[in-house]
Amino acid sequence: MTTQKGFRAVNGCGEHNFVALTLIDHACRSRKELHVVWYNLKNAFGSVPQELLWEVLERMGEPPVFVQVCKGLYKDTAFMVGNAADRQTDPVTQLVGVFQGCPLRSHAE
């Protein structure tokens, strides 16, 4: 099961809330101790320097060829933004963050 719930067609956060409430209820009924931590990582994948991402993948033991392929996908990439007047910005180089929908998002969890 993936833990990433953003950008889904359905409310994936509801699943996380259901699991949390179920665990809390179980702990209360069985009189067990339970520790709950909530993270709110605003723009977590959009703000990470890409060089840090490659370092983390290496430290996690990913094969060097995998890390090199990932670096290649992100090397010299840029994006442009269009508007309603059918104009677009100059290319903007992306040096931080992971692309929307990139498989690295779930791999880095």
**Pick from 49-53, 67-71, 86-90: least confident:** 86-90
Single-letter amino acid code for the residue at 40: N
**Pick from 19-23, 38-42, 56-60, 99-103: least confident:** 38-42
In sequence order, what are the beta bridge partners of 92? Answer: 79
pLDDT at 28 over 60: yes
Query: Which pLDDT tens digit goes with each residue over 1-17?
Result: 455 565 556 666 677 78
Give the alpha-carbon dihedral of 94, 99, 100, 103, to 10 degrees. Answer: 180
Residues 6+ apart with CB under 8 A from 32: 26
Residues 6+ apart with CB under 8 A from 90: 80
Distances (CA, A) of 90 to 78, 84, 97: 9, 16, 19
Query: Average pLDDT of the chain?
Result: 81
Residue located via tokens 């992306």: 94
pTM value is 0.53
Number of H helices, E strands in the chain: 4, 2
